[in-house]
Amino acid sequence: MLTSHAMGLRIEGTYTALVTPFRDEPGQPIDWAAFDALVDAQVAGGVAGIVPCGTTGESPTLSHEEHGQVVERAVKRANKRVQVIAGAGSNSTREAVGLAQHAERVGADAVMIVVPYYNRPSQEGLFRHFVDVAASVRLPVVVYNIPGRTGIDLAAETLVRICSFAGNVVAVKEATGNVLRAQKLVQTMGDRMTVLSGDDALTLPMVACGARGVISVTSNVLPAEVTRATRLALEGRQEEARRAHLALLPVHDAMFLEANPGPVKAALALRGAAKDVVRPPICTATEATRAAVAAALDAYVRGAR
């Protein structure tokens, strides 16, 4: 079986679930200047990679044309300085195949495929979906399991079966919120599958169980700090990793006081990095959440001095 290492791509460390900045104008067009600056900030912060067009990137409200533009722009702006794992998921297998193939054509390093949402396929349907998408490209595939948003859980047994048929499925973004589930995947899959935390607040305990990194929301705002905390954990520097993780925990919590990416866009706006604009049905963060986000960031910065 191929692994991410065998395919020439080491999936490990901090990956930023990149927001898609919008301009505060009619139609809320994409703010490409802010997007480019955000990618550059991630590179400067030392992240291993960026993940455009995931949930944090508001992919459900991007048109097909915008989705393609975001992935292509991310690849060009990253310019091989960091990996680009392009979000290419859909609740339509045909659409996911098209998105994955487009990502491959424009030079993405890998694709991330979310469990199909809303239509609640059976485990057999999930198996066929991921095998079909993986067979359509040569890129490494990261499976994204987040039952709280999709309405269906990809069973560990189904993931094992997928991997037995699709050698380029090499990693899973585990966002069930269940550390026991994560350690079971590590135990079952060993080196065959890289497990990444899908929850910032669980990165340290998941790495302790064998996960190899995180796809992070907080790193949009604090890329260097999240990168450092993840690196300390991966290096087994337990006490330093614990301190770094716990210092970030209030910021992680603030990022999810409301529907993502409302709070993280509020945080970016506080830093002048992007407009506080989200597309409906997501709402901008309330004043109370904005205040909580500002307080968490201020406290973290003061504590880091």
Rounded to the nearest 10°, the torsion over CA 37, 41, 42, 44 is 140
Active-site annotation holder among 15, 117, 173, 265: 173
What lies within 8 Å, CB to CB, of 25 at 6+ separation is none
291: enclosing H helix or E strand: helix 287-304
pTM for the structure as a whole: 0.96
Greatest Cα pair distance in the chain: 52
Residue 55: closest CA among 175, 226, 140: 175
Residue 211: closest CA among 191, 197, 230: 197
What pLDDT is stored for residue 305 in this prediction?
A: 63
Contacts 24+ apart (CB under 8 A), 185-188: 185/156, 185/159, 186/210, 186/211, 188/156, 188/160
Q: What angle do CA 155, 161, 165 make, to 5 degrees?
A: 145
What pLDDT is stored for residue 190 in this prediction?
A: 87
Positive or negative, the CA dihedral 226, 232, 236, 238 is: negative
What lies within 8 Å, CB to CB, of 302 at 6+ separation is none
Count other C-beta atoms under 10 Å from residue 272's C-beta. Answer: 9
Mean pLDDT per segment of 10 residues, for the chain of length 305 residues?
Answer: 59 98 97 98 98 97 98 98 98 98 98 96 98 98 96 95 97 94 90 96 96 98 98 98 98 98 98 97 97 98 82
173 belongs to the catalytic site: yes
What pLDDT is stored for residue 7 in this prediction?
A: 62
Cβ atoms of 113 and 89 closer than 8 Å: yes
DSSP calls for 61-99: GS-HHHHHHHHHHHHHHHTTSSEEEEE---SSHHHHHHH
Residue 251 backbone zone (phi > 0: left; psi -120 to 50: alpha; other: beta): alpha
d(CA 262, CA 255): 8
What pLDDT is stored for residue 3 in this prediction?
A: 47
**CATH 3.40.640.10 at 13-235, yes or no:** no
d(CA 67, CA 65): 5
Active-site annotation holder among 76, 80, 117, 144: 144
Which pair of tokens denotes residue 258?
Answer: 């409301």
Q: Kindly list the domain boundaries of the chain, sorted by start residue.
A: 13-235
Per-residue model confidence as pLDDT tens digits over 174-215:
999 989 989 999 999 988 999 999 999 999 999 999 999 999
What lies within 8 Å, CB to CB, of 94 at 6+ separation is none
42: enclosing H helix or E strand: helix 32-44
What pLDDT is stored for residue 303 in this prediction?
A: 87
Positive or negative, the CA dihedral 216, 14, 200, 154 is: positive
DSSP calls for 161-213: HHHHH-TTEEEEEE-SS-HHHHHHHHHHHGGGSEEEES-GGGHHHHHHTT--E
